[in-house]
Amino acid sequence: EIVMTQSPATLSVSPGQRATLSCRASQSVSTNLAWYQQRPGQAPRLLFYGASTRATGIPARFSGSGSGTEFTLTISSLQSEDFAIYYCQHYSDFPTFGQGTKVEIK
Amino acid sequence: EVQLVESGGGLVQPGGSLRLSCKASGFNFSSYWMSWVRQAPGKGLEWVGTIKNDGREKFSVDPFKGRFTVSRDNAKNSLFLQMDSLRVEDTAVYYCVRDGLLVTAWFDPWGQGTLVTVSS
């Protein structure tokens, strides 16, 4: 099983500031990596697939990067609706998720 | 609009069974692999199992093998999760998700989820 580790567990950021979230795989997953956003009380929503391809309707302030074992999700200027939990997931074989990073208002 | 709607959740006693359903619309259901993902209260996301588009092959991991069975009815655009020998730790929201075409991929979209509570 490929283990996905996200850091930090919680990120406190002021509105308008930049947020950088990390996801590490225990072995290479190439670019078979997705990011999801989950707002309170809602189902997760796809943000990125292929590590860096933005899903339909995702604002340009979100960007994804990385390959192999190291991945990054960046939100360039946090808006109120961006405060949520973010999960990475690989699909290189049996999928596994990271434990999530909660982005909270500072 | 691509949509997934789950049903069938509820309260069940430990050792009991439950069958979840997911009705798909807005896409060619029979072309896509489909999966179930769960989320225990206050916890993260956990993949439960996947079924190929033709239903001939299914994938899961040890915590669920032998207890949970994924199936589908392409004629009815429906996905199912049969859960047997339920445990308290199976309490979670269960999401139906669309997987990939021909291979497992990212999950999009997600249903709204159905809550399963295992308790005596």
Q: CB atoms < 10 A from the CB of A54, how many?
A: 17
Most A CBs within 10 A among B37, B106, B112, hence the mutation to make, goes to B106
Q: Is the pLDDT of residue A33 over 90?
A: yes
pLDDT band at A5 (very low <50, low <70, confident <90, very high): very high
Q: Is the pLDDT of residue B71 over 90?
A: yes
pLDDT tens-digit readout, A87-96: 999 999 999 9
Most B CBs within 10 A among A6, A31, A46, hence the mutation to make, goes to A46
Strands B18-25 and B3-7: antiparallel
Cα–Cα distance, B45 to A102 (Å, whole number): 14
Residues of B with CB under 8 A from a CB of A: 35, 44-47, 50, 59, 61, 95, 100, 104-113
Q: Is the pLDDT of residue B118 over 90?
A: yes
Report for A9-18, B54-63, B98-107: range of highest mean pLDDT: A9-18
Q: What is the pLDDT of residue B39?
A: 98
Q: What is the pLDDT of residue A10?
A: 98
Among A55, A96, A99, beta carbon nearest to B47:
A96
